[in-house]
Amino acid sequence: MTEQHSEVLVRASILHFLRDPGTDASPSAWEYFEDGALYIVDGCVRACGPWQAICATYPHVAQHTACHVDYSGKLLIPGFVDCHVHYPQTAVMGAYGKQLLDWLTHYTFPAEAAFADPATAHASAEHFIQRLLAHGTTTASVYATVHAHSVDAFFEAASHYDLRMLCGKIMMDRHCPENLRDTAESSERDSAALIERWHNKGRLRYSITPRFAPTSTEAQLDAAARLYTSHPDVHLQSHLSENHGEIQWVRELFPNCAHYTDVYRHHGLLGPRAIYGHGIHLSDAELDMLAAHGSAIAFCPTSNRFLGSGHFDASKTLAAGVKVGLATDVGGGTSLSMLRTMNAAYEVSMTTATPLNPWRLWYLASLGGAAALGLDQFIGNFEAGHEADFTVLDFEATPDLAWRIHHCKTLEERLFALMTLGDERCVVATHALGKATTRLK
């Protein structure tokens, strides 16, 4: 460390993306440095490149070995971005036997009702943040519960590690248990107060969170839109077109709208920094509407398989001009691991006309997710000036993976094996703003 600056020089095999590699896996979309260096000043990337070249350009840091961190032989990537996850639902992850609407009633709502107790919220938030970091995830778009204090608990836990996180209080004023119900007025007031308290506090940002169209009255959707338009850089998250029963219900509740996406358009809830979970059963007209408004879809493959919701077509959605990020959707999803999520995304894509290639999957888990959340000016790759959030992965974390890696001939094969056979056991360390939050091995 020098007097004025905190400097870190990290050595590892480094992979990051400059843009979407597309369906043809265009190599100009990524940079890979087998013996790489990431030079970080005051928590932000100053330079990223081959070790020898960075050392030659910055000899004072090269000589100052006290600021070196050596992960040679390991893979260093931008911290994973989880575009849609419910922190109060970790307690019902993997609950047996229901599709979406029954699953909400039997498991999700009771779990969320327990958050009326602030102590439950605080303990769960701390647990969740620690588990995210253990899985290599440094940014997530997080649903709290209807209780305002559940957002306070989450942001307090995230701020201990200075993480870039999005979170919002669920707005839900109908078709849910009494003890989880707010009103259009109270949800607008509470959300506005939370925005005041947390939005842009350090790296934290607020996401307005109407749960989904069936659990909000039209008055509440209008309230959400007022919050969205009156705070220019605030985010928005909700659910869209996940399950056939849900879609039919929306049709009945909003007979004057052309389709599910049109409900959100009609109420002013489409636009930049708005991301919708699932989007499995969208028509071409709905995809065009999302693209025209610059809204994104969070692809939640483990959840979609687990709840029997259907197979999202990521390639088709991207081709329509809609941004897509990857997401765990815990507790519908079955793991916080973005590696497992990438594997599930690949398997789901194999049922579609255009399966995802390995490069695009690694892109979606990092820069693609950051772009889908409207955060790519801060995170997602190692361009100079970006915040230095990164994850270090071990290609040989398990005997099966190590054996497979030993037989791989190319980087593409190794990356693919890492995401198909890997999980949180591969995470060696997770750094936020250059600092280690965990060094697990």
Name the region of 278 (left: φ>0; alpha: ψ -120 to 50; beta: rest): left
| DSSP assignment string, 264-306 | HHHTT--STTEEEEE-TT--HHHHHHHHHHT-EEEE-HHHHHH
Compare residues 249 and 378 and give the one whose CB is closer to ligand GUN: 249
φ and ψ at residue 370, rounded to 5 degrees: -60, -40
Shortest distance, position 101 Cβ to ligand GUN, whole Å: 9
Q: Answer for the pair 199, 238: CB distance below 8 angstroms, yes or no.
A: no
Is residue 213 a contact residue for ligand GUN (CB under 6 A)? Answer: no
Which of ligand GUN, Zn ion, none lies near 303, with the C-beta cut-off 5 to 8 A by kind? ligand GUN
Is residue 277 a contact residue for Zn ion (CB under 5 A)? Answer: yes
Nearest residue to the partner ligand GUN, using Cβ: 332
Q: What is each CA distance from 269 to 196, 210, 284, 294, 297, in whole angstroms?
A: 20, 10, 19, 11, 14
Which residues are bridge partners to 293 per DSSP?
Answer: none
Residues 247-286 that bind ligand GUN (CB under 6 A): none
**Three-state helix/strand/coil letters over 141-172:** EEECCCCHHHHHHHHHHHHCCCCCEEEECEEC
Residue for token digits 């916080």?
A: 336
The residue from 164, 239, 267, 431 that contacts ligand GUN (CB under 6 A) is 239
Span interacting with Zn ion, options 112-120, 181-189, 277-285, 313-321, rule CB under 5 A: 277-285
Residues 326-345 that bind Zn ion (CB under 5 A): 329
Is residue 390 a contact residue for ligand GUN (CB under 6 A)? Answer: no
Which residues are bridge partners to 30 per DSSP?
Answer: 17
Closest of 84, 185, 176 to residue 139, by C-alpha: 84
Compare residues 21 and 332 and give the one whose CB is closer to ligand GUN: 332
Rounded CA separation 312/278 (Å)? 7
Is residue 242 a contact residue for ligand GUN (CB under 6 A)? Answer: yes
The residue from 31, 329, 376, 387 that contacts ligand GUN (CB under 6 A) is 329
The residue from 303, 349, 357, 366 that contacts ligand GUN (CB under 6 A) is 303
- x/- letters, 37..76, toward ligand GUN (CB under 6 A): ----------------------------------------
- Applying CB under 5 A, the residues found at the interface with Zn ion are 277, 329
- Applying CB under 6 A, the residues found at the interface with ligand GUN are 86, 100, 104, 108, 211-212, 239, 242, 303, 329, 332
